[in-house]
Amino acid sequence: MNDSCYDCAFWSPGEMGGWREESFDLPGFWESETMPGQCRFRPPSLGEVATDQDGEPFTLFGQWPKTMACDWCGRFKQRQSERQNQDKAM
């Protein structure tokens, strides 16, 4: 274990973030250290300004910071699998 996004409770893997907790325990779920994801430590901030088909600017919905599995920060909290949480409850 190291204190990287890969092992952090606040990290959501994938380009769009979001996952099912049980997916963490599936073989091959983690692709590599450079797997993209999103940091979910804080609420999302307003997204980038984009332009619609008519050339009108609009703000994209909220976005979380994009990170890679090998990134790290000072807000690390060890992620626990659903299986670990069930073992603690017993």
- pLDDT tens track for 17-72: 665 454 555 445 555 677 888 999 999 888 788 888 999 998 878 888 999 889 99
Q: Which residue has the tokens 């692709």?
A: 31
**pLDDT confidence of residue 23:** 53
pLDDT for 10 beyond 60: yes
> H or E element: which one contains 39?
strand 36-39
**pLDDT confidence of residue 50:** 87
Separation CA 78–CA 4 (nearest Å): 9
CB-CB contact of 66 with 37 (8 Å)? yes
